[in-house]
Amino acid sequence: MVAARQPEPAAAAGAADAIVPRRFRVLANRQENEDTFTLELEGVDEAGPFEFEPGQFNMLYAFGAGEAPISISGDPAAPGPLVHTVRAVGAATRAICAARPGETLGVRGPYGSSWPVADGDLDALVVAGGLGLAPLRPALYSLLARDAGGGRLTLLYGGRSPEQLLFDAELARWREREEIDLRVTVDAAGPGWTGAVGVVPALVERVEIDPARSVALVCGPEVMIGFSVAALLERGLPPGAIHVSLERNMKCAVGRCGHCQLGPEFVCRDGAVFPYERLRRLFGLREV
């Protein structure tokens, strides 16, 4: 099974460059739903595309307000701007979401491990919940760009309500593509919603899975990850074929401060994407 790529030691070693924010200008800020925004950024002091692997994150810095770890949500193969999708939940993220075109943010990164998207022959089952679709979107771009005749691609996406779903225009476009089997479910809806209502693990039970040649990528709230992993294991997927991305209290992003420590792992340095096999012992432990 293909393992998640491990981070380059340069970022983790604490080289000065790794913790100094660079200036990035806001090119566009689009509201996704009531509290989530997608920002497009370009370097002020640097030219060229921002290179990253699907699943990696940056520390975004709203000057005077604070810093927050935010996954990159754009296409790693596209030469365009750096794209982040941010939910306004605290002082730093509210300030980042309020940034208008022309304003400047600090960016340091990319940090962390990445999703295993290299093996084009495997069936990929992508399971996203809520904002968890954002860190998975770069992986979906890579998987959609695989050569025809490769493995199947399935996206199971759950949200709170139809209004809360991210990237609705893109979901509509993906629905038309043959390369992807897209299934969306919400926790509750009005009668105008023609999609599914229910939880994501219920979708896991309904899709075709070949456990011997599949890899699963799971991201969302940790409770949803736990239930989804349980459903995947029940369908016969080995723990080594399941990869999860965790959201913990990341502060330094280089494995120094210990805020994001999960047992022996530092989520910022060793993750945020982990093979589930590596976390199985820790998953669900209280106070870890």
Partner 1 sequence: MKTIAELLPEIPLFEGLPADQLELLAGCGRNVVAEPGEYLFTEGRTANTFFALRHGSVGIEIPVPAREPIVVQTLHPGDVAGWSWIFPAQPWAFSGRAVERTRAISFDGACLRGKCEEDHELGYELMRRVAIVMAERLRFTRMQLLDVYGRGEAA
**Choices 107-115, 193-201, 209-217, 278-286; region in contact with partner 1 by CB under 8 A:** 193-201
How far apart are the C-alpha atoms of 64 and 56, rounded to whole Å?
A: 25
Is 55 in a helix, a strand, or coil? coil
Is 31 in a helix, a strand, or coil? strand
For the bound state, the minimum distance from the C-beta of residue 130 to partner 1, rounded and expressed in Å, comes to 4
Instruction: Give the residue, chosen from 35, 181, 210, 277, that forms a contact with partner 1 under the rule CB under 8 A.
Output: 35
The residues with which 68 forms a beta bridge, in sequence order, are 60
If one asks whether residue 261 binds partner 1 (CB under 8 A), the answer comes out as no
Instruction: For the chain, state the CA radius of gyration.
Output: 18
How far apart are the C-alpha atoms of 165 and 138, rounded to whole Å?
A: 17
Site for partner 1 in 93-132 (CB under 8 A): 93, 129-131
Choose between 141 and 266: whose C-beta lies nearer to partner 1: 266
If one asks whether residue 39 binds partner 1 (CB under 8 A), the answer comes out as no
Compute how many residues bind partner 1; rule: CB under 8 A: 41
CB 186 within 8 A of CB 158: yes
* C-alpha dihedral sign at 239, 77, 265, 106: negative
Q: Vertex 96, ends 80 and 162: CA angle to 5°?
A: 80
Instruction: Give the residue, chosen from 53, 247, 265, 270, that forms a contact with partner 1 under the rule CB under 8 A.
Output: 247
If one asks whether residue 136 binds partner 1 (CB under 8 A), the answer comes out as no
If one asks whether residue 190 binds partner 1 (CB under 8 A), the answer comes out as yes
Q: Could you check whether the bond before residue 101 is cis, i.e. omega within 30 degrees of 0?
A: no
Choose between 1 and 230: whose C-beta lies nearer to partner 1: 230
Which residues contact partner 1 by CB under 8 A?
Answer: 35, 66, 68-69, 87, 89-93, 129-131, 158-160, 164, 185, 187-199, 201-202, 206, 220-221, 223-224, 227, 247, 249
